[in-house]
Structure 1
Amino acid sequence: MSKEKHSINEDVADLASLGYTQELKRNLNFFSNFAISFSFISATTGIFSLFGFGLTTGGPAFIWSWPIVFIGQLLVGLTMGEVASHYPVAGSIYQWTKHLAGNTYSWFSGWIYLIALLATIASVDFGAAPYIAQLMGMDANNHVLLVLITAVIVILQTLINAFSVKLMAIINGIGMIAEIVAMIVLAIALFAVGIHHPFSFSFDTAGTAGKGSYLPVFLAAMLTSTWVLFGFDSAGSLAEEVINPRRVVPKAIISSLFLTFIIGGLALLAFVLAIPNLGETMKAAVPLTYILNKNLGTGISNAFVVLALIAIFVCGTAVQATVSRLLFSFGRDNKIPGAKLWAKMSKKHDTPVAAIIFSGIFAILLVLSSSAESYIVNICVVGIYLAYLSVTVGALFARTRGWDSTASPWNLGKWGLTVNILSLIWGVFVILNLCWPRSPGQAWYLNYSVPLLAVIVMLIGAVYYFSSVYPRDKAITLKGNSEPFSNHKN
């Protein structure tokens, strides 16, 4: 017990060396931090949401985008792990890039990340609504009903996050175990009773390329894997609530990514090999539900859907916890409208209640428009990957300025620069792939909606930043506080 108390005191002093007073309650261990990161990534949430898209776009062979995206994201995760070990501060990407590359750079990194996270809450929770409606025997195409269901989900998540970080961590732990067990048992069940094809079937393109090359089709279908394998940085967003974060957070980032890859890959292979009839499955309204019903029966299939809904709920809870800490970090630095409100801590619950409530209200508002759903997903995905790329670029910039990347206990050593460069190449590739227009028959503003949304978000942010935040930062810099990054040993 004394060792734990000493560790916490050491972490409080460490945070003070980075310029902040301990306000959040520091009571998360490795398991809790890992569970939050794993729940945010949530293979179940992403696969249940976009398996049908991947299959109908690229045929069964789309699942081979999974290891490709994993390798690329592992490079990003390694880069983040090293940076997180140096700067264990709430707000993750915003704080990391501030120390690496300076105030202006970090503000825009944090801004695009904030908008993307808010969109992620909306897209994750709204994705669960049709499944809930179906289970309740209601019309899953009724938008008003889906919005109401989403609102109930968001309200429950908000109450959990506002009440206690410990409660949130416990629920994430339970959800994580439920997700792992459900995905493994589901895969084993399908391998036992539902395998209809040899392994080679997983390379079938189902004629999706027509007479042309399969590569463009495969890159489009890669969205499924791209949508799933992010969120591991959430371990760093709660760094000020973690005991010994310089060592724990990087391990949580990498291990959650690895476990997601293994469980998700096993499930994807089982789903594809269990396809009873490829043509009928691709025509089904919900291909994955069709596969489960045909192989396991409606009753068992619904049981797994319920477990998937639990995972989706926990995922949304973890995302909201992450965005509230980012708002708290922004507010504490006085870098966003309503700063004092977002930085205010509840003395009773030790949580930034106002930031949590705002994120819930904003998520509900986002799903009110039926025409906005695809745009929510677009800004969510491209925004997240732009924020991730900013960390890699920031780390490379800091290295040119003499940053000692080995100064913290978890580091990449001599491989740091190589991993950073490969992470940069991957990040640029993913963003280009996300923004690449694939519907030449549509209006130009629809065809280029992904990059347009990103530009609009950044322009809105620029108006506020250069009219309000930048003048204050410049005044502080003139007083001598212009050091772009610093090294602190644990």
Structure 2
Amino acid sequence: MVASAEALTPGSPTGSDTSADSTDLARFGYQPVLHRKLGRYASFAAGFSFVSILTTIFQFFGFGYSFGGAAFFWTWPIVFAGQFLVALNFAELAARYPISGCIYQWSRRLAGEVVGWFAGWMMIIAQIVTAAAAAIALQVVLPTIWSGFQLIGTDTALTSRDGASNAVLLGSALLALTTLINVIGIDWMARINSLGVTIEIIGVLAVIAVFFTHTDRGPGVVTHTDQAAAGPYWAAFLASGLMAAYVMVGFDSAGELSEETKNPRQVAPHTILSALAVSALGGGLILLGALMAAPSLSDGSLASGGLAYVIEAKLDTTPGKVVLACVACAITVCTLAIQTAGSRLLFSMARDERLPFSKQLATVHPRFGTPVWPAVAIGVLGIGLLLLNLGNAAVFATLASVCIVMLYIAYLLVTVPLLVRRVKGWPADVAGDAAGTKLFALGRYGIAINALAVVWGVAMAVNLAWPRSAVYTPNGGGWWMLWAAPLFVLVTLAVGAVVHRLVTPARGPVAETVAQIA
């Protein structure tokens, strides 16, 4: 039997829960210790807020434009198509394995304990880095709303020493806040996250409306390459794809929260796909609208100021600040969603006794129904990562690039084993849930979609990790900064190998149940 989490407290909300969802979870060998309170919208909000187009496009628009010019827009539909292939595979797995810590759980069941452990390990590190990278995005908007938010120096640009230092301060404060919210309960997290996502969707619609009613040029702008970086355009275009690649990840969050979602076999697959699709549509319209509405494409303001420059140019002070406040809300719930997903992954691995301090990390607070120590661990490690980069003007691009590469590799540790299993005949049945409702499945298209998802994942991982000086050392730096992504991956694997060796012999393999290897 799989090692379970802390025993239920008599009379707790989940202690008397005999629902079909809890019975279903028990088939995998786990006690239902988390509070199952998330409905369809809350599940969608978890994925949408992790993707968070307002957060990530505001962060990266200037970066993408500075490399590819206006034609970098085409990286958006290309990345969406590739990531949707991955999401289709994840949706099928979410229907079959509705368990917290989904990347680890899926990979372990498809490829065995070692591969699954490293998938979880890579994802944990990626989520810590991603949470830190998302949190520093507050620097992009808060000083613009009010100069008092610039607590260090006067230069607000993330690429300056003052801006980078202030970003670390604001980001650390945000991580402290999201840690507190994650500790006090999934219901509070869901309320805040759902409210934040609603505000973000309103903000997205407002931004799109402003841009498309204040255009200075037509949609043909997306064919312009004259503002691209020097050198062959294909190279600039590939580098500009970092923006879209950074935005369209985290849609698997609905799977991470499966044990807190009502009817997860039906809900999680659809919210995984809808979170990515809605984000892609909204983000694409924002990109097109910004390019059409920007006062100038050639004076350098669009590359340096990004979307904030366009909004400030098209709106009066007060409406513009309201839109930026929506962006600040989006950044907050994005960081919250990333930390929540990461804490559930830590909890899931610790419950199987796969991590150091597993007993503490697998403990669920009897009142709040949350794994407290995983949330605290991610918050503290994220803040520590920011403090290590205090004053580093390249912190933004470096952290973002590294976390994307890690996420893509973690995804590959699911899609590659899944493809191998499909070739061998998985799934052999037409599965249904407890009520007999057919589960989401790719059917005869599974192998083709899965194979394309693997090719896509490999190509993007190589592209994103490629040591480009314009990305990793824009203001100069050592060779280790230039090779930050591949070096970070190697170090993560090396440290992971040591941790895995220390943990596994003492605790033995995780026993399987019939449901786990379906």
**Same fold judged by TM-score > 0.5?**
yes
**Alignment-derived partner of residue 95 in structure 2:** 85
Q: 1:407 aligns with which of 407, 431, 440?
A: 431
For the 8 Å contact 1:281–1:291, the answer to whether it is kept is no
Q: CA deviation at 1:439?
A: 2.8
Secondary structure at the counterpart of residue 38 of structure 2: coil
* Correspondence list, 1:170-189, <5 A: 170-189=191-210
For the 8 Å contact 1:164–1:351, the answer to whether it is kept is yes
The one-letter amino acid paired with 1:163 is I
1:100 pairs with 2:123? no
Q: Could you say if the C-alpha distance between residues 69 and 130 of structure 1 is closer, same or farther in structure 2, counting changes exceeding 3 Å?
A: closer
Q: 1:205 aligns with which of 221, 225, 228?
A: 225
Cα distance in 2 between the residues matched to 1:236 and 1:283: 37
Q: Could you say if the C-alpha distance between residues 263 and 373 of structure 1 is closer, same or farther in structure 2, counting changes exceeding 3 Å?
A: closer
**Alignment-derived partner of residue 278 in structure 1:** 297
Q: CA deviation at 1:298?
A: 3.1
Q: CA deviation at 1:365?
A: 0.9
Identity of aligned residues (%): 36
**Alignment-derived partner of residue 154 in structure 1:** 175
* Deviation per residue, 1:184-231 (Å, 9 max, x gap): 121112211x21112111211124254x53111111000010010011
The one-letter amino acid paired with 1:458 is L
**Alignment-derived partner of residue 264 in structure 1:** 283
Secondary structure at the counterpart of residue 279 of structure 1: coil
The one-letter amino acid paired with 2:315 is L
Cα distance in 2 between the residues matched to 1:437 and 1:326: 30
Q: Could you say if the C-alpha distance between residues 348 and 249 of structure 1 is closer, same or farther in structure 2, counting changes exceeding 3 Å?
A: same
Bigger mean CA deviation after superposition, 245-254 or 406-415? 406-415
The one-letter amino acid paired with 1:457 is T
Cα distance in 2 between the residues matched to 1:487 and 1:335: 19
**Alignment-derived partner of residue 66 in structure 1:** 76
**Alignment-derived partner of residue 462 in structure 1:** 497
Cα distance in 1 between the residues matched to 2:308 and 2:397: 22
Q: CA deviation at 1:243?
A: 1.1
* Deviation per residue, 1:89-146 (Å, 9 max, x gap): 1001001111111100000000010000001111101111342233231333255543
* Deviation per residue, 1:362-397 (Å, 9 max, x gap): 111111123354432222110111111111012112
Cα distance in 1 between the residues matched to 2:417 and 2:448: 15
Bigger mean CA deviation after superposition, 214-223 or 137-146? 137-146
* Correspondence list, 1:471-482, <5 A: 471-472=505-506, 475-476=508-509, 481=511
Q: Could you say if the C-alpha distance between residues 124 and 189 of structure 1 is closer, same or farther in structure 2, counting changes exceeding 3 Å?
A: same
Secondary structure at the counterpart of residue 280 of structure 1: coil
Q: CA deviation at 1:290?
A: 1.7
The one-letter amino acid paired with 1:250 is P
Q: 1:329 aligns with which of 338, 348, 358?
A: 348
The one-letter amino acid paired with 2:449 is V
Cα distance in 2 between the residues matched to 1:52 and 1:209: 12
1:307 pairs with 2:326? yes
Q: 1:216 aligns with which of 235, 247, 270?
A: 235
Bigger mean CA deviation after superposition, 295-304 or 40-49? 295-304
Q: CA deviation at 1:285?
A: 3.6
1:393 pairs with 2:420? no
Cα distance in 1 between the residues matched to 2:324 and 2:44: 24
Cα distance in 2 between the residues matched to 1:243 and 1:343: 22
Cα distance in 1 between the residues matched to 2:239 and 2:193: 32
Q: 1:421 aligns with which of 426, 445, 451?
A: 451
RMSD: 2.2
1:226 pairs with 2:245? yes
Q: CA deviation at 1:485?
A: 8.4
Q: CA deviation at 1:72?
A: 0.3
Cα distance in 1 between the residues matched to 2:177 and 2:407: 25
For the 8 Å contact 1:284–1:290, the answer to whether it is kept is no
**Alignment-derived partner of residue 243 in structure 1:** 262
Cα distance in 2 between the residues matched to 1:393 and 1:402: 15
Q: Could you say if the C-alpha distance between residues 485 and 222 of structure 1 is closer, same or farther in structure 2, counting changes exceeding 3 Å?
A: farther
For the 8 Å contact 1:7–1:244, the answer to whether it is kept is no
Aligned residues between the structures:
477
Q: CA deviation at 1:432?
A: 1.1
Give the helix-richer structure, 1 or 2.
Answer: 1
TM-score (norm 2): 0.87
**Alignment-derived partner of residue 195 in structure 1:** 215
TM-score (norm 1): 0.92
Cα distance in 2 between the residues matched to 1:214 and 1:131: 31
Q: CA deviation at 1:66?
A: 0.5
For the 8 Å contact 2:211–2:290, the answer to whether it is kept is yes
The one-letter amino acid paired with 1:345 is V
For the 8 Å contact 1:60–1:203, the answer to whether it is kept is yes
Unaligned runs of 5+ in 2: 1-15, 157-161, 433-438, 471-475
The one-letter amino acid paired with 2:403 is C
Secondary structure at the counterpart of residue 19 of structure 2: helix
For the 8 Å contact 1:83–1:395, the answer to whether it is kept is no
For the 8 Å contact 2:227–2:298, the answer to whether it is kept is no
Q: 1:9 aligns with which of 19, 22, 25?
A: 19
Unaligned runs of 5+ in 1: 1-5
Q: CA deviation at 1:147?
A: 2.8
**Alignment-derived partner of residue 137 in structure 2:** 127
The one-letter amino acid paired with 2:194 is G
Q: CA deviation at 1:67?
A: 0.4
**Alignment-derived partner of residue 61 in structure 2:** 51
